[in-house]
Amino acid sequence: MTNGQKDIQFSPETHKRANEIIARYPEGKHKSALIPLLHLAQDEFDGWLDVPVMDYVASLLNIQPIEAYEVASFYSMFNLHKRGNCLIEVCRTSSCWLMGAEDIMRHLEKRLGIKMGETTPDGHFSIRGVECLGACGYAPMFQVGDTFHEFLTIEKVDALLEGFKEDFKEKHSAYLD
Amino acid sequence: MGKKLLLDKVNVAGIQSYEVYRREGGYASVDKALTMEQAAIVEEVKKSGLRGRGGAGFPTGMKWSFLAKPEGVPRYLVCNADESEPGTFKDRYLMEKIPHLLIEGMIASSFALGAHKAYIYIRGEYAYVYKIMERAIQEAYAAGWLGKNIKGTDYDLDLYMQIGAGAYICGEETALLESLEGKRGNPRIKPPFPAVAGLYGCPTVVNNVETIAAVVPIINMGGEEYAKIGIGRSTGTKLISASGHINKPGVYEIELGVPVEEFIYSDEYCGGIKGGRKIKALVAGGSSVPILPAHLINTTAKGEPRLMTYESLADGGFATGSMLGSGGFIVMDEDTSIVKNLFTFARFYHHESCGQCSPCREGTGWMEKILKKILRGEGSMKDIDLLWDIQAKIEGKTICPLGDAAAWPVASAIRHFRSEFEEYIQNPSSIKDVKHYYRLNDLQPA
């Protein structure tokens, strides 16, 4: 079910996966599953965590909603606002900067007509500068979903953008393929 | 060609799979460990001289021997795979290319420590590596290396992956444990150390991916043999993540003791500076360590050859030395703007500060703002002193090392490259010549 609907609930498969994760921790320590479950929820409900979605995750773990909010707001991968179907995260720290990350950012801004941190009016693309993604030797790079696109050039970016069009929908979660 | 202990099999076709890994001699250290006394394994690790490969360089055997063993209380081994120090990508490489090596190390180490549950905490952005590790763990279960009665012994171990969600601070071991407990990544006040009160308040050892992997050759060859590799207190091999303006960026396994000059210029490693240019500066061990100017890279201030060891890289202290750190080796050519590079570090630390300690929470933001002001051409000479003052008031005044990590790059950049700051302030038009200059006004506000 999609976000915005009254009844927020994981699909049976995701529910099963959530229970498997919860079983990884000792008795009474199920709160450890909070971050993994927020990832699952973000993937299942449109790539972001609306308040009712966080409330739902909290209810699964039998914790207070505030415990989910405070975690979701701490970690940069959790989106607290709706974003584009295709979120392009460009690494901008040292090594990537040295190898031309800003050329890549500038090109993306030009091609998509938006600034870093914005979403295209059709809601398809979001672009964001992010901190070191651990691809320093393969710079410059950006991440889309769980894929690292490395050794980027302007030409490579153009080709990738073509592939990201239309029905493209990336998944960030480590648990769903 | 230096000796390789971790990546020697990395190019064997199919080494990601259990079958090939086992055929190539994998899991031998677990076979051996299961026949040894637990204390004897800890002793071998002590003898090996292995030091934590995540950055701090603390002796691993000693860390293990601090683990409290109260009756009836579970103990945990947690692997720190939160690799986030700018310039560092070795753990990702190891887990992606040879995942069973980490699993083998986790089993042998867990056995030595008497842990029956172990977790590998991986940064959220490495989701694709998570999948590789998850698959490998399932293979290890299927082959009887994990689960109940491992290989017919009475030893049980469950090993799980745990994913983060984007927070550099979770590489700090107590923040990692908080995160693993499902909380914000706020570092804990120490003591108590995790060895006494770690995960769920139980005795816990937290070790870096590469550290755990190094336990495998240590058990296989014995601690004494391992200690023969390297120089002095820098024993064994180290993975170096090489990036920046070099011809051959990538992950290299070196015997500790290789001269820095050889590492940069030899074709076996970095292959020299891109385009035959000159080197301007080196960040030898990840963003946190002091930057070295050209004249202090190949030789120390005393004129001795600078070696890739904990001691040699630190020679001269902070005045003229640096640190081996995580092995994040960032090379900058003659056209690099040191101030702009520093700005990317300052922005990073500001973004990643957890916000618990005022000097770090406020100071990192101020440093970013002042550097941005200088790069906009609006700096004044007083700003350099202000930067110095702020970094000095962060260092040593926070409960975790993120504060120091944010302060050191600023201090060392001013110490060695003050004239560049002055040039930008006195002659703002010189800023426009900076390679990859990007109008800062176009960037999101900090």
Cβ of residue B341 closer than 8 Å to a chain A Cβ: yes
Check B127 against A115: CB less than 8 A apart: no
Range scoring the smallest mean pLDDT among A167-171, B1-5, B412-416:
A167-171
The confidence score (pLDDT) of residue B445 equals: 38
B264-283 average pLDDT score: 97
Per-window interface: B 422-441 vs A, CB < 8 A: 436-438
Question: Using the beta-carbon criterion (under 8 Å), do A137 and B241 form an inter-chain contact?
Answer: yes
A contact test, residue of B344, B410, B442 with most A CBs within 10 A: B344
Q: What is the pLDDT of residues B331-362, one digit of tens each?
A: 999 999 999 999 999 999 999 999 999 999 99
Mean pLDDT of B283-302: 97
Q: What is the pLDDT of residues B210-253, one digit of tens each?
A: 999 999 999 999 999 999 999 999 999 999 999 999 999 999 99
Would you state the structure tokens that stand for residue B225, as one six-digit string?
């043999």
**Bridge partner list, A141:** none
Which pLDDT does position B443 carry in this prediction?
Answer: 44
**Chain B residues lying within 8 Å of A26, measured CB to CB:** 74, 117, 200
Residue B232 in contact with partner chain A when CB distance is under 8 A: no
pLDDT above 70 covers what percent of chain B?
96
**Of residues A34, A103, A135, nearest to B182 (C-beta):** A34
- Report how far apart, in Å, the C-alpha atoms of B160 and of each of A63, B138, B148, B180 are: 23, 10, 14, 11
CB pair distance less than 8 Å for B330 and A143 = no
- A69: number of Cβ within 10 Å: 16
- Return mean pLDDT, chain B: 95
> pLDDT at position B280, please?
98
Does the beta carbon of B249 lie under 8 angstroms from any beta carbon of chain A?
yes
Q: Which helix (H) or strand (E) holds B293?
A: strand B292-293
CA B80 from centroid of its chain's CA atoms: 10
CA distance B245 to chain A (A): 7
Contact B443 A77 (CB under 8 A): no
Where chain A has pLDDT below 70, the residues are: 1-6, 166-167, 169-177
Interface confidence, given as ipTM, is: 0.94
Q: Are B197 and A70 in contact (CB under 8 A)?
A: no
Mean pLDDT throughout B276-300?
A: 97
Token representation of residue B346:
């300052």
| Helix ranges, B267-401 (H) | 310-314, 317-320, 338-352, 358-375, 381-394
Between CA A134 and CA B201 the distance in angstroms is 31
Of A35, A63, A98, the CB nearest to B165: A35
Query: Cα separation of B73 and B65, whole Å?
Result: 17
**Residue B431 confidence (pLDDT):** 84
Of A75, A98, A172, Cβ closest to residue B127:
A172
Note whether A75 contacts B85, CB cutoff 8 Å. no
The predicted model scores a pTM of: 0.95
Q: Are A136 and B166 a contacting pair at CB < 8 A? A: no
Give, rounded to a whole angstrom, the gap between the first and last alpha carbons of chain A.
Answer: 17
Cβ atoms B416, B291 nearer than 8 A: yes
CB B128 to CB A92 under 8 A? no
Q: Is residue B51 over pLDDT 80?
A: yes
Phi, psi (5° rounding) for residue B120?
Answer: -110, 110
Mind telling me how many Å the CA of A137 is from chain B's nearest CA?
4
Q: What pLDDT was estimated at residue A169?
A: 67
The whole-number pLDDT of residue B432 equals 65
Q: Which of A74, A132, A177 sits opposite B184 (nearest CB)?
A: A74
